[in-house]
């Protein structure tokens, strides 16, 4: 009888141990999945746009004037950022960017170098304009040939840190090669290299906000009531 009792209790304790171990494993897996989802969907604020006017000329052509401000993670002006006045022609405004998108696994694991899509906003143009007739924003000349004078390879407000990493410098300097060489891109842990433009009609005296998640999806939110700091 005593032996049977020991066997029963041993079985019960073993089952309890397995049960709590399984619960612990399930909770760890749930935490891992939540971290992965958070890493994939985390958004980085990029810029705020204040639409000053939407006007039509005598021929019925639309002209949109706006102010652009690069922002930090709290939607405040980035250090050294200046408000830039821009004009586009057409009913819609297009915000054109160039992106280096890393493998999903690197993003899910929040890799310190490859955990976020590298994105630089290159230019803005209207629906009545060709992209190459748009106004340059932040893309340096040695990558796309449309930069402002003195542009850097990796503009300060698009670096992952205070100084560009070796990875950022290497990838942006090889941007066009990576576009056409999938093997080279794969060796760098890159899923794709692409240009991406978001666009919509804009409303006068309203504000819009640009943000990007770690997978590279760009969001153009608005219209919304403008924040007074955007236009000095």
131-187 pLDDT tens trace: 988 998 876 555 554 444 455 667 666 667 777 788 888 888 888 888 889 999 999
Residues 50 and 151 in one domain: yes
Return the SS3 of 201: strand
Structural domain total, the chain: 2
- Token pair listed for 129: 């304009």
Residues 23 and 92 in one domain: no
Q: What is the pLDDT, as a whole number, of residue 229?
A: 61
For the chain, give the percent of residues with pLDDT over 90. 38
Q: What is the pLDDT, as a whole number, of residue 151?
A: 57
pLDDT band with cut points at 50, 70 and 90 for residue 232: very low
78-92, 135-149, 214-228 — which is least confidently predicted?
Answer: 135-149
Kindly tell me if the per-residue pLDDT of 33 is higher than 90: no
Residues 32 and 84 in one domain: no
Beta strands in 24-182 (DSSP E): 43-56, 62-70, 84-89, 92-102, 118-126, 135-136
Q: What is the pLDDT, as a whole number, of residue 34?
A: 55
Residues 146 and 173 in one domain: yes
Residues 65 and 18 in one domain: no
Residues 196 and 219 in one domain: yes
State which residues form the domain around 137.
43-230
Residues 59 and 166 in one domain: yes
Residues 123 and 17 in one domain: no
CA 146, 151, 154, 160 dihedral sign is negative
Kindly tell me if the per-residue pLDDT of 56 is higher than 60: yes
Residues 209 and 125 in one domain: yes
Kindly tell me if the per-residue pLDDT of 51 is higher than 50: yes
Residues 21 and 116 in one domain: no
CA 223, 94, 97, 114 dihedral sign is positive
């Amino acid at each position: 009888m005593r032996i049977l009792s020991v066997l029963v209790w041993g079985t019960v304790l073993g089952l309890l141990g397995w049960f709590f171990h399984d619960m612990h494993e399930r909770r760890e897996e749930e935490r891992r999945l939540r971290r992965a989802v958070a890493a994939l969907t985390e958004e980085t604020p990029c810029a705020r746009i204040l639409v000053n006017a939407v006007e039509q000329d005598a021929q019925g052509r639309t002209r949109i004037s706006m102010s652009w401000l690069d922002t930090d993670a709290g939607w405040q002006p980035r250090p050294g950022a200046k408000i830039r006045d821009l004009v586009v022609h057409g009913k819609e405004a297009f915000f054109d960017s160039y992106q280096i998108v890393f493998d999903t696994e690197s993003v899910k694991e929040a890799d310190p170098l490859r955990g976020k899509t590298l994105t630089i906003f290159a230019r803005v143009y209207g629906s009545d304009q060709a992209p190459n007739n748009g106004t340059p924003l932040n893309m340096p000349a040695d990558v796309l040939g449309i930069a402002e004078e003195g542009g850097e390879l990796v503009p300060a407000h698009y670096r992952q840190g205070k100084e560009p990493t070796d990875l950022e410098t290497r990838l942006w300097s090889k941007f066009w090669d990576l576009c056409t060489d999938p093997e080279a891109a794969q060796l760098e842990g890159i899923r794709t290299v692409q240009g991406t433009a978001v666009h919509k009609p804009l409303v006068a005296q309203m504000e819009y906000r640009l943000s990007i998640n770690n997978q590279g999806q760009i969001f153009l939110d608005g219209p919304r009531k403008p924040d007074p700091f955007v236009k000095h």
